[in-house]
Structure formats: structure tokens, C-alpha cells
Chain A
């Protein structure tokens, strides 16, 4: 009975798993096929003749620039979110002052409003500040994250107060406590939040689409979408572009596997 059940369950899960992987497999396979094979019927699972022609075309667009732009934007956003979240989390968790809960509540309340709901006035502000089509303009909305502050507050709350008091008696300043006690002790939480923030920024689309208008400022997501609109029937090129956009993330995922799954889900859960 047990073995029968295991057989059925594994069968269902493997079928689902194949559905999960198949689009990626098809993307890779198409991107290495010569155009005449892509447009042949019936479609072949693997390329008959492997070619890199579609990948060569990407450099003219230029995908390497998009890639670096994405990397820059996601890195800046992650650093800012890590700093602001851990500092604010520390203050909200371990300090008492008038208005603390009000400010914390206001921060959290903004998480209820999706970005799409207030991007119009924000765009107007950036037009006035001449920040349209600049890197700073792309990163700005991604510099803070309410979930991050909440998440870090939860984690820092579990650090015993005695530890902080002991440091204070030893003459440690509040900044010193943050640097020497809080940060080392919240390393797992910080890495989870960092992964989450990076993925968020890396995958952001509508804001970079709105705020950039020349190719040299496009992030990977926008560059690929524009490329796809221009060459929408050239599936060899579009799947090659998609592969380039997906591969780095998949490689990181392969290396970090468990940490990454935990990082993404736990950050979401506690938010």
C-alpha cells in the first residue's frame, strides 16, 4: 500500500516537475537552433545543427550593457535596503521613544499600497528633478522596503537585551552596538533579506520601463522586452536573449539552493 502510494505521488510530482522545467528546456533548445529548424514542422526536441548565431546578435543590441545596468541597480538597491532595514529594525526593536509605534505603523502601512498605485506622481517628481533616464531615477523607489524593516525588527527583537546592556556598560556607543553586536548576530536574517531584495530589484519591470528611454540605461528586463517587441517573430534571438537573462539567476540558484528558497519564502512569510 505504502509503495503504491509512493508510486502515485512521485508520478504526479514528476509530471508537474516536467511541466516546470519544459519551458526552460525549450528556451535553451530553440536558442541553439538555426532559424530554418526553428520554423520547421514538426518541431524537433534538440537542434539538428547547433549554432551560436542568435547569441552573437545580442551583443549588437547591446545585452551586456543591460546586464551591467541590472547588476548595478540591483546591487545599489540591496545595499540600501540592508542598511536602512537593519538600522530602523534596531531602533524599533530595542529603543523606546515617543511616537515610535506611530512611525513604525506608518512605514508598514505603505507596504499595503502597491507601487503601481503611486508611480504617476512619483514620475512627475522625477521629471521636475531631471532624474528621468538616470540610474538614480531607476533605483530610487527601491531604496527602502517596509517588509525589510518589519523583518529585521522581528529578528533583532529576539536578541537578548542583557547583551546590549553589557556592551553599554563596557562603554560601547549605540552605533558600536549596532556594528559589533546587532549586525554579527543578524547575519542569517540579513542574507535572507539581501537575497530577497536583490531578486526583487533584478526582476523589477514597470518602473525601469517608465523611467528609462534610451538603450544605454535599459535594465535587462526592459531591454529584453523591447528586443522582443522589435524582433517578435525572430524566436531564435528572443529565446537567446531570454537565456542570457535567466542563466545568471539559475546559476546563483543552483549554488545557493536551500538558502535562496528559505530567503525568499521566509522574508515573505514574516512580512
Chain B
């Protein structure tokens, strides 16, 4: 009996500080975001007037927010399927007997951009995309293309950043998918081969269904990350000193600007709530789709 009490005391002593930390670092801020989103506040005023859904109404009339929403959605719709497709193709290639001997080497190489942090990599890609001396324009000029100011033109800035973002993360998802592929028992393929199933048939009937939980994981995580894109956009397209604003507005940038440059705390919180709802809805949708099939 005594030992049971001492176990309870241990649990209490361990969990209490951690719960307190969670309350301070997660629960309260998450709750306050919803609370603030219904108020107007500039960080200095003593009063926070309640404005109901006023901030939300303003959001959907703000051209900046709508542009940010559009850009972020295009970014997500473009990068998530492409990243997944490339990563899966790479993983399947690495799994093939013909190259599996060199697989550790390839994994290492494709993982280089994953381990490096985003800011230095974004700085380097900005240089690659440079309108006058960038190596990309040089390579394209060999094929007779006109030089382009990739990151300064809103039309090309988004695709340019998408390419760089796919480059950065594809190795991560490749390794995850490879772990999933390795977990599929060999016997399934041997049985299918005896039954005369072609390689493509084996892929669609064995690999894809058995890989489904991993695929779901990859799609969900990459969607969440894509909707939260910020760092590379901030480094590569935000105007330099004295020129506020961004060529390419994304949701988190809009939150950042409204909260920490204009001190519209309530408005920025409403944006954050919308971002959260989008991410939650997409995650639910992806889980729903995975269950159906």
C-alpha cells in the first residue's frame, strides 16, 4: 500500500511542473489567441474593446490577407504533391536491387539540404536567382533564354521559392518513405511475382496500399509545414532596409507584419485562428480521404 502512495506522489511531482510548463507555454497562449481574436488591441492601450467577429470581417475584406491566403494555398498545392511524388520516386529507385548497394551514399547526399537550416540555404538560393549575376540566369542564357528577375517579379517569385522549398525537404520524405518500403515483407512481392504480376501491378496493389499510413503521415506533415511557410519567403523576397512589405505575401508573413510591425494584436490573432482552422480542416480532410480508400 505504501508503495502505491509513493508512486502517486512520484507521478504528481513529475507531472505537476510539466503541466504547469504546458499551461504557460501552450494552453494559455492557444486559448488567448482565440480570445484576442475577438478584441481590438494595440499592445499599449489599457482597454481591449470587444469587437465580436469584427476582426474576421475585416480580414476577408483585406487585399493583403486575401493575397497571402491565395499565395500560401498555391504554394501548398504546388509543393505538397510534387514533393511527395519526387520523394516516392526516389525512394522506390533506392529500394531497387540495382542501386540498393549505394543507397546509404544517396541518402547522405539527398539529406544534406534537410540537415542545414533554412536561412543560410535561402541566402544561397537568393544568390542563385540573382537577376544580374545569378548562376541560374547564366545557365539559362546558354540555352538562349532572357535573364529574369526571379524573386522580384511576383509571378516568378512564388514558383522560384517553391522549387527551392521542394529541394530543401525532398530528402526527408524520401528517407521516411524508404523506411516504409523496407517494412513491407519481401514475401508479398515474391508471391505476386509467382502469380505473374508486373512491376507496375505490384506497385499499385502491394506497395501503395501497405504504404498508406506513411503516405498519410508525409502528406499531413508537409501540408502543415507548407501552410506555415515563412523563413525562406522572409529571407528571399522581403525588401531590404527601408522598404517594408514583401513581394510575395504569405499568411505567416501577414501575421508577423500585423502583430509586430503594426501592433494589431487582435487582428493578427484572428489571422492566426484562420490559419489554424485551415490546417486543422486540411488534416481532417486528408485523414478522411485515407480512410475512404
Contact = CB atoms under 8 A, between A and B. Distances in A.
Contact of A116 (B115, B124, B217, B272): B272
B140 interface: no
A88 B97 CA distance: 43
Contacts of A118: 26, 29-30, 32-33, 272
A60 to B, nearest CB: 18
A23 B166 CA distance: 14
A143 to B, nearest CB: 6
Interface stretch (B154-162, B189-197, B234-242): B234-242
B25 A41 contact: no
Given A173-B6, A228-B126, A206 B256 contact: yes
B176 interface: yes
A121 B29 contact: yes
Interface string A109-127: 0101110111111111101
B90 A16 contact: yes
Interface in A230-271: 230, 232, 235, 238-239, 241-243, 245-246, 249-250, 253, 257-258, 260-261, 264-266, 268-269
A264 B176 CA distance: 10
A41 B252 CA distance: 37
Interface in A150-181: 168, 173-175
B98 to A, nearest CB: 4
Interface stretch (A5-13, A47-55, A184-192): A5-13
A144 B167 CA distance: 29
A141 B25 contact: yes
Given A97-B11, A143-B21, A241-B120, A257 B255 contact: no
B176 A268 contact: yes
B115 A97 contact: no
A26 B127 contact: yes
Contact of B276 (A95, A113, A175, A260): A113
A137 to B, nearest CB: 12
Contacts of A224: 119-120, 123
Contacts of B27: 106, 110
B240 A229 contact: yes
Contacts of B256: 206, 210
Interface of B: 3, 6-8, 10-11, 14-15, 18-19, 21-22, 25-30, 32-33, 35-36, 43, 90, 93-94, 96-99, 102, 104, 106-121, 123-128, 130, 133, 135, 138, 167, 171-172, 175-176, 179, 214, 217, 221, 224, 227-228, 230-231, 234-235, 238, 240-241, 252, 255-256, 259-260, 265, 268-269, 272-273, 275-276, 279-280, 283
